[in-house]
């Protein structure tokens, strides 16, 4: 018996050793799979699939080994004990317990795989009690190991299935149930062929492939399966035949989402490539390094046609592009780019380039500056050739940026947690992700390992939920690894003990960082494509020929058509066809016919008219290509790129008209001739308007040289300037010919390359002008004599203020001789520094408008003395009514002004004395009346209050309140006026609710005047918040409203209503206070109107209405200070506002009365 026991012990040790070896192989296989996946290389996908197959094969092999070892132990023979007693008498309790555990373990683990070792062996009856107990311990240990392996089997994310020789499912993990959309009972017992899509396979084809698989032993591939709900999924699989006799292992992975993402990315790349290939011009992306150097990371092939530089050379040497910019434009381009980079803003730059072949082009460069994730400056831009007729856009924008998102399977991290949420196991893949050896995790929690608190809370909640409910959980999280921040998806699976309780939780973690990055790259790709389409000035449209509708319109197209720049296009619309000019609509049918005949990439060009959002017809030049074809190869979608050439067409029309006009002008050139001559000084073209027979004629000039036509004296004058033309020099000279005088203009004529090939000579008869010049010279001498003998100051200035004439009176007064001041600007040395700007403004006013009658200013003589001069000006115009000279005649009024100043000082002193008397009289009267009212009411209340009724007490109390408020308002007006006059009245605007401010003021006025004159307040609902909040000074608004309302009530009869209206309008306020209402755009003015039906204001008082202490002639005995409207005017001026008044003193109400209108601009 001891020998048998030792043999069994050796067998157990051997089994455990084998188990350790297989476990090590399992760990190594997982580590190999994780390492390959982390490489993120597509060429390792096949190796990764083989590694996954190897891992799962080891798992199932180990599982089968455990069952076989348990059966072998139960079949081991026993030797009877020498004691005579039969020690092998079976112990039913021990035997039943062991058998029950074995049966439960095998039945729960592999319910459809039969094993002959599961049945009870009769030789168990020969076991001794002690041996049976030892065997039970080993079996329990193996059962625990079996459950661990079963938990790993169930926690794998890929679908694992075991099939028999007919391809019938015998066993499947939960991931397989999820993949097929079936529960275990619906899946097991069915053949694999039932779930393969009929379009991709048939029963006969399946049987043939299955037989081939059983023969080869290995198979990998992709197919489409049909789920239980009828939907299909794309999967890839790896299968191993006969990993156990008659049993075949299949590993299936769902790749539907990956293929959809790849398909979407491919279509997006197709669209990007098609648009980039058809946008005129060149697209680039540049990065500005920390050293300020610009590096091109991408530039489209269009740079070859635009700059005559290949993309490879441009990327290798960006300076080659900058060197092509015209030297005069380089500083502007560099400044605009730097400003845009500093402000992260868009830029739009136009400049010239000189290509390597010498061609000069006008380029428009638009771009957008931003920062990438590393914080570096990035410029995305488009360069277009706009040389054609100064601004017509004929470039094509391209983009060839390729965005690729690699979505690969990441390696799994496998870990186990106990109920204290401590690690009891972690595989080597965790070290690759965290940089921490697996042994370090043992016995520690996530918190102790330094996981961020928010991640610890997420993990703890999920683990506790699995322990509490026994249900699997899936969570996503991220943390910082040695190779950067990574994103993971974890599946938490409960590990049950023999009683069905959750003993531990198995975590299978998959790295989904690449998937997240692929999604971000796809979004960035779409964003870049949208940016390119939105920043190009071209109109881009994708048109579907099947539904005859526009699928896509870029931002420029939407703006052109007057559509919102954001949002979807209403399906079924054909906006381009609807907006095409009726005469050009057959063009679209021609496009459809022509496109059916075009090869891919071949471009169809045309020009047509399209109606702009403003209603005008614009000419477009378009390029159409086939963007997408249907399965039959017929065009399905058209990509159209168009530019607005309206301006170019107009210029072409104007150019044609100009040529006709030029020839007409040449043929009708007045009093002379226009001729062309070559390098031999031979006339090749002549047009003239003959005056006399002696003049050269067209017949006598063409084909002859100057030496054949003119006499030697004339040739001697003409030859030098004519030959100088071919050196690029122009000349103007006067020469006699016969008894007449001519002006000769000689100009060079160059071709497109700048080479001079001919000369232009224009002659004009100036005989009459010469005679007039002689007569004018005589007249000038006469005028000069008159000016020099005149006693007044006479100065003649040109349009720039330079002195042309300076008579002797000016010389005597200033001490400057005429030769010293000639061609000098007079205000630079003759005026006081503080008067220069005012005189310059008056001078400009004389030039631009009609002259003023007179003005005065000081002149400073050469010795520093000052004299006050009164000027009267006269303007001289030439024949075309252009101002030529300004003649100023001045009188020295220095002594007269001194006398006037003394007289004005005496008059001012008298006015101040009168104003002081009026002020003290007003204050005495205005304060005495309310104070007397207060005193009388207070004395009456004091003496008779016990006998007064409540109504009478209230009446006296309100009388006191009104008197006090009147006194306070008077003081407030005086203080406000004083601050305004001394410049201390502050303007403090702040955001406010305009309606609420005026409503409070009106309520205050109603309470003060006891409602004896109704106040009717109406307002514009548009001014209600939050539609509009304005920024004004509430204190100044109060002064304006209180004074206008108190005046309206004071001068209105008892019971007459006061109308108060608050409205809004759009317009502007001029410097003179006049209001211009435009009625266009959003309102920017508030308008307060106060209208009464009172006594009105006489027309004679209106000019003095806002003067201090001034009161209307018809106020009679109505009390008042004459300060209210002065205060209102000061407050209105501080707001930059305007006040207007209309009044009628004739007739009865409602004809009679006064209306004040205060217009104040918003300060948003």
Is 56 among the domain residues?
A: yes
The structure tokens listed for 516 are 């997240």
pLDDT tens profile 728-785: 889 888 888 878 888 888 989 887 678 888 888 888 888 888 877 777 777 777 666 6
The structure tokens listed for 262 are 């790849």
pLDDT at res. 1072: 81
**Angle (nearest 5°) at CA 599 between 595 and 603:** 65
pLDDT band for position 939 (50/70/90)? Answer: low
Is 464 among the domain residues?
A: yes
pLDDT band for position 62 (50/70/90)? Answer: low
Q: Which residue has the higher pLDDT, 982 or 261?
A: 261
Residues 6+ apart with CB under 8 A from 88: 78, 80, 125, 126, 127, 128
Tally of helices (H runs) and strands (E runs) in the chain: 32, 39
Is 656 among the domain residues?
A: no
User: Do 1018 and 1155 reside in the same domain of the chain?
Assistant: yes
Beta-bridge partners for 870? 856, 891
Is 123 among the domain residues?
A: yes
pTM of the predicted structure, to 2 decimals: 0.29
User: Do 378 and 293 reside in the same domain of the chain?
Assistant: yes
Residues 6+ apart with CB under 8 A from 383: 281, 282, 283, 284, 302, 303, 306, 363, 364, 365, 395
Rounded Cα distance between 499 and 100, Å, is 13
Q: Please, which contacts does 257-264 make with residues 24 or more away whose CB atoms are closer than 8 Å?
A: 258/407, 259/234, 261/405, 261/407, 261/518, 261/519, 261/522, 262/407, 264/522
pLDDT tens profile 563-584: 887 755 544 467 777 788 888 8
Rounded Cα distance between 444 and 423, Å, is 6
pLDDT tens profile 70-101: 555 444 444 444 444 443 333 433 333 333 33
Is 49 among the domain residues?
A: yes
**Helix%, strand%, coil% for the chain, nearest 5:** 45, 25, 30
Which of 765, 787, 809 is the last residue in one of the domains? 765
pLDDT at res. 644: 87
pLDDT at res. 133: 54
CA distances to 620, 755, 772, 844, 850 from 875, rounded to whole Å, are: 51, 47, 22, 13, 9
Rounded Cα distance between 913 and 726, Å, is 85
The structure tokens listed for 638 are 């058209």
Lowest mean pLDDT among 256-260, 499-503, 855-859, 912-916: 912-916
Edge-first strand listing for the sheet containing 604-611: 549-553, 539-544, 635-644, 617-629, 604-611
pLDDT band for position 912 (50/70/90)? Answer: low
What DSSP assignment string belongs to 647-715?
A: HHHHHHHHHHHHHHHHHHHHHT-TTEEEEEE-TT-BEEEEEE---STTS--HHHHTT-BHHHHS-HHHH
Helix (H, G, I), strand (E, B) or coil at 52: helix
Which is nearest to 875 in space by CA: 865, 883, 863, 864?
Answer: 883
Phi-psi region of 567 (alpha: psi -120 to 50; beta: other; left: phi over 0): left
With a cut of 90, say whether residue 333 has pLDDT above it: no
pLDDT at res. 573: 61
pLDDT at res. 959: 67
User: Do 599 and 696 reside in the same domain of the chain?
Assistant: no
User: Do 138 and 201 reside in the same domain of the chain?
Assistant: no
User: Do 994 and 1130 reside in the same domain of the chain?
Assistant: yes
User: Do 1018 and 1148 reside in the same domain of the chain?
Assistant: yes
Helix (H, G, I), strand (E, B) or coil at 511: strand
User: Do 621 and 706 reside in the same domain of the chain?
Assistant: no
CATH of the domain at 487: 3.30.450.20
Q: Which residue has the higher pLDDT, 209 or 907?
A: 209
Is 711 among the domain residues?
A: yes
**Environment class of residue 577 by beta-carbon count within 10 Å: exposed (0-12), middle (13-18) or buried (19+)?**
middle
Task: Specify whether the CB–CB gap between 886 and 875 falls below 8 A.
Answer: yes
pLDDT band for position 916 (50/70/90)? Answer: low
H or E stretch including 646? helix 646-667
Is 39 among the domain residues?
A: yes
Rounded Cα distance between 1115 and 1105, Å, is 13
**Environment class of residue 493 by beta-carbon count within 10 Å: exposed (0-12), middle (13-18) or buried (19+)?**
buried
Residue 998, Cα to own-chain centre: how many angstroms?
40
pLDDT at res. 167: 87
Edge-first strand listing for the sheet containing 740-750: 683-688, 672-677, 756-765, 740-750, 731-737
Rounded Cα distance between 443 and 864, Å, is 102
With a cut of 90, say whether residue 1061 has pLDDT above it: yes
Lowest mean pLDDT among 10-24, 133-147, 815-829, 1021-1035: 10-24
The structure tokens listed for 221 are 């591939």
Is 47 among the domain residues?
A: yes
- CA count, 13 A, side-chain hemisphere, 351: 27
Residues 6+ apart with CB under 8 A from 70: 102, 117, 139, 142
Task: Specify whether the CB–CB gap between 531 and 382 falls below 8 A.
Answer: no
Q: Considering the chain, what percentage of its residues have pLDDT values greater than 90? A: 5
With a cut of 90, say whether residue 1158 has pLDDT above it: yes
CA distances to 330, 341, 352, 367 from 323, rounded to whole Å, are: 9, 21, 11, 19
Helix (H, G, I), strand (E, B) or coil at 1021: helix
The DSSP letter of residue 598 is: P
What DSSP assignment string belongs to 1112-1137?
A: -TT-TT----S-HHHHHHHHHHHTT-
Task: Specify whether the CB–CB gap between 595 and 639 falls below 8 A.
Answer: no
Scanning 76-195, the segments in alpha helix (DSSP H) are 92-109, 129-155, 174-180, 184-187
pLDDT tens profile 793-849: 888 888 888 998 888 888 888 899 988 999 999 888 888 888 888 888 888 887 777
CATH of the domain at 1150: 3.30.565.10
With a cut of 80, say whether residue 1021 has pLDDT above it: no
Which of 332, 367, 385 is the last residue in one of the domains? 385
Task: Specify whether the CB–CB gap between 670 and 679 falls below 8 A.
Answer: no
With a cut of 60, say whether residue 707 has pLDDT above it: yes
Residue with tokens 């439960």: 104
Residues 6+ apart with CB under 8 A from 751: 757
User: Do 293 and 439 reside in the same domain of the chain?
Assistant: no
Beta-bridge partners for 1156? 1090, 1141
User: Do 239 and 302 reside in the same domain of the chain?
Assistant: no
User: Do 790 and 833 reside in the same domain of the chain?
Assistant: yes
Rounded Cα distance between 1067 and 1032, Å, is 18
β-pair type (412-417, 294-299): unpaired
Task: Specify whether the CB–CB gap between 541 and 557 falls below 8 A.
Answer: yes
Which of 334, 368, 385 is the last residue in one of the domains? 385
Rounded Cα distance between 388 and 402, Å, is 32
User: Do 1147 and 1010 reside in the same domain of the chain?
Assistant: yes
Q: What are phi and psi of 797, to 5 degrees?
A: -120, 150
Residues making up the chain, counted from first to last: 1164
CA distances to 703, 776, 936 from 795, rounded to whole Å, are: 55, 20, 75
User: Do 151 and 168 reside in the same domain of the chain?
Assistant: no
**Residue-range definition of the domain harbouring residue 499:** 412-511
Tally of domains within the chain? 9
């Amino acid at each position: 018996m001891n020998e048998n026991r030792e043999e069994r012990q050796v067998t157990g040790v051997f089994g455990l050793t084998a188990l350790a070896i297989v476990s090590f192989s399992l760990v190594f296989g997982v580590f190999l799979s994780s390492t390959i996946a982390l490489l993120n290389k597509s060429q390792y996908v096949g190796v990764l699939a083989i590694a996954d197959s190897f891992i799962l094969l080891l798992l199932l092999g180990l599982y089968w080994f455990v069952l076989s070892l348990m059966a072998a132990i139960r079949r081991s023979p026993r030797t009877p004990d020498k004691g005579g007693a039969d020690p092998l008498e079976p112990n039913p309790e021990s035997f039943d317990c062991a058998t029950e555990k074995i049966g439960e373990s095998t039945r729960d683990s592999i319910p459809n795989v039969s094993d002959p070792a599961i049945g009870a062996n009769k030789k168990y009856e020969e076991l001794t009690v002690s041996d049976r107990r030892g065997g039970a311990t080993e079996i329990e240990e193996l059962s625990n190991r079996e459950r661990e392996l079963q938990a790993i089997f169930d926690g794998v994310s890929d679908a694992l299935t075991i099939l028999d020789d007919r391809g019938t499912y015998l066993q499947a993990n939960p991931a397989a149930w999820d993949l097929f959309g079936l529960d275990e009972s619906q899946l097991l017992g069915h053949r694999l062929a039932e779930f393969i899509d009929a379009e991709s396979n048939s029963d006969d084809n399946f049987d043939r492939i299955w037989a081939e698989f059983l023969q080869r032993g290995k198979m990998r591939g992709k197919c489409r399966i049909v789920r239980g709900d009828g939907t299909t999924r794309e999967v890839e699989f790896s299968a191993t035949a006969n990993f156990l006799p008659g049993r075949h292992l299949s590993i299936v992975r769902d790749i539907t989402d990956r293929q959809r993402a790849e398909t979407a990315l491919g279509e997006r790349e197709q669209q990007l490539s098609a648009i980039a290939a058809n946008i005129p011009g060149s697209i680039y992306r540049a990065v500005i390094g920390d050293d300020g150097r610009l590096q091109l990371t991408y530039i489209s092939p269009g740079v070859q046609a635009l700059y005559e530089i290949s993309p490879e050379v441009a990327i290798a040497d960006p300076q080659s592009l900058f060197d092509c910019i015209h030297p005069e434009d380089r500083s502007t381009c560099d400044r605009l780019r730097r400003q845009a980079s500093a402000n992260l803003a868009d830029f739009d730059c136009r400049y010239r380039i000189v290509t390597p072949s010498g061609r000069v082009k006008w380029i428009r460069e638009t771009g957008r500056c931003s920062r990438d994730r590393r914080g570096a400056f990035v410029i995305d831009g488009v360069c277009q050739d706009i040389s054609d007729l100064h601004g017509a856009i004929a470039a094509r924008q391209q983009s060839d940026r390729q965005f690729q998102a690699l979505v690969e399977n990441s390696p799994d991290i496998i870990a186990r947690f106990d109920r204290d949420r401590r690690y009891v196991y972690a595989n080597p893949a965790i070290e690759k992700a965290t940089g921490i050896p697996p042994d370090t995790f043992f016995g520690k929690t996530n918190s102790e390992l330094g996981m961020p608190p928010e991640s610890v809370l997420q993990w703890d909640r999920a683990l506790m939920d699995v322990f509490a409910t026994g249900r699997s959980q899936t969570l996503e999280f991220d943390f910082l690894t040695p190779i950067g921040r990574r994103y993971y998806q974890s599946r938490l699976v409960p590990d049950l003990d023999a009683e069905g309780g959750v003993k531990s939780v198995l975590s299978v973690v998959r790295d989904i960082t690449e998937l997240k990055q692929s999604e971000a790259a796809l979004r960035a790709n779409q964003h870049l494509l949208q940016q390119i389409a939105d920043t190009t000035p071209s109109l881009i449209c994708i048109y579907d020929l099947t539904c005859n509708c526009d699928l896509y319109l870029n931002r420029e197209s939407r703006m052109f058509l007057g559509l919102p720049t954001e949002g979807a296009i209403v399906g079924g619309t054909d906006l381009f066809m609807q907006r095409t000019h009726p005469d050009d609509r057959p063009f679209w049918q021609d496009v459809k016919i022509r496109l059916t005949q075009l090869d891919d990439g071949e471009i169809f060009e045309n020009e047509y008219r399209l109606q702009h959002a403003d209603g005008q017809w614009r000419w477009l030049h378009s390029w159409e290509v086939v963007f997408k074809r249907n399965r039959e190869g017929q065009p399905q979608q058209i990509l159209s790129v168009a530019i607005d050439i309206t301006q170019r067409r107009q210029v072409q029309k104007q150019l044609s008209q100009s040529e006709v006009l030029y020839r007409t002008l040449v043929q009708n050139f007045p009093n002379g001739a226009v001729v062309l001559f070559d390098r031999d000084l031979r006339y090749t073209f002549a047009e003239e308007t003959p005056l006399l027979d002696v003049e050269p004629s067209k017949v006598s000039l063409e084909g002859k040289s100057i030496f054949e036509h003119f006499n030697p004296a004339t040739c001697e004058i003409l030859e030098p300037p004519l030959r100088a033309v071919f050196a690029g020099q122009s000349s103007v000279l006067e020469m006699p010919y016969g008894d007449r005088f001519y002006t000769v203009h000689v100009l060079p004529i160059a071709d497109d390359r700048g080479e001079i090939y001919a000369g232009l000579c224009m002659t004009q008869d100036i005989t009459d002008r010469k005679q007039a010049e002689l007569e004018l010279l005589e007249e000038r001498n006469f005028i000069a004599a008159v000016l020099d003998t005149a006693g007044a100051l006479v100065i003649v200035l040109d349009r720039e203020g330079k002195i042309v004439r300076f008579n002797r009176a000016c010389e005597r007064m200033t001490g400057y001789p005429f030769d010293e001041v000639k061609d000098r600007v007079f205000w630079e040395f003759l005026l006081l520094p503080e008067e220069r700007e005012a005189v310059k403004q008056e001078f400009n006013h004389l030039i631009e408008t009609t002259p003023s009658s007179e003005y005065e200013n000081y002149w400073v003589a050469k010795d520093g003395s000052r004299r006050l001069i009164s000027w009267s000006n006269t303007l001289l115009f030439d024949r075309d009514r252009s101002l030529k000279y300004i003649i100023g005649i001045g009188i020295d009024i220095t002594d007269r002004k001194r006398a006037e100043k003394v007289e004005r000082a005496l008059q001012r002193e008298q006015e101040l004395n009168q104003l002081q008397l009026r002020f003290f009289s007003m204050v005495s009267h205005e304060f005495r009346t309310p104070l007397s009212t207060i005193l009388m009411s207070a004395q009456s209340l004091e003496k008779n209050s016990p006998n007064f009724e409540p109504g009478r007490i209230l009446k006296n109390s309100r009388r006191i309140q009104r008197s006090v408020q009147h006194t306070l308002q008077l003081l407030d007006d005086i203080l406000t006026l004083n601050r305004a006059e001394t410049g201390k009245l502050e303007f403090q605007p702040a955001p406010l609710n305009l309606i609420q401010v005026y409503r409070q003021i009106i309520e205050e006025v109603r309470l003060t005047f006891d409602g004896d004159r109704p106040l009717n307040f109406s307002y514009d609902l548009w001014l209600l918040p939050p539609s509009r909040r304005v920024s004004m000074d509430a204190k100044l608004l109060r002064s304006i409203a209180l004074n206008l309302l108190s005046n309206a009530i004071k001068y209105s009869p008892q019971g007459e209503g006061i109308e108060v209206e608050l409205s809004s309008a759009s317009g502007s306020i001029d410097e003179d206070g006049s209001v211009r209402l435009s009625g266009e755009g959003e309102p920017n003015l508030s308008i307060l109107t106060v209208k009464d039906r009172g006594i009105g204001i006489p027309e004679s008082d209106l000019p003095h209405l806002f003067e201090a202490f001034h009161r209307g002639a018809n106020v009679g005995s109505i009390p008042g200070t004459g300060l209210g409207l002065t205060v209102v005017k000061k407050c209105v001026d501080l707001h930059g506002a305007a006040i207007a008044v209309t009044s009628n003193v004739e007739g009865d109400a409602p004809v009679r009365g006064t209306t004040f209108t205060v217009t104040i601009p918003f300060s948003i």
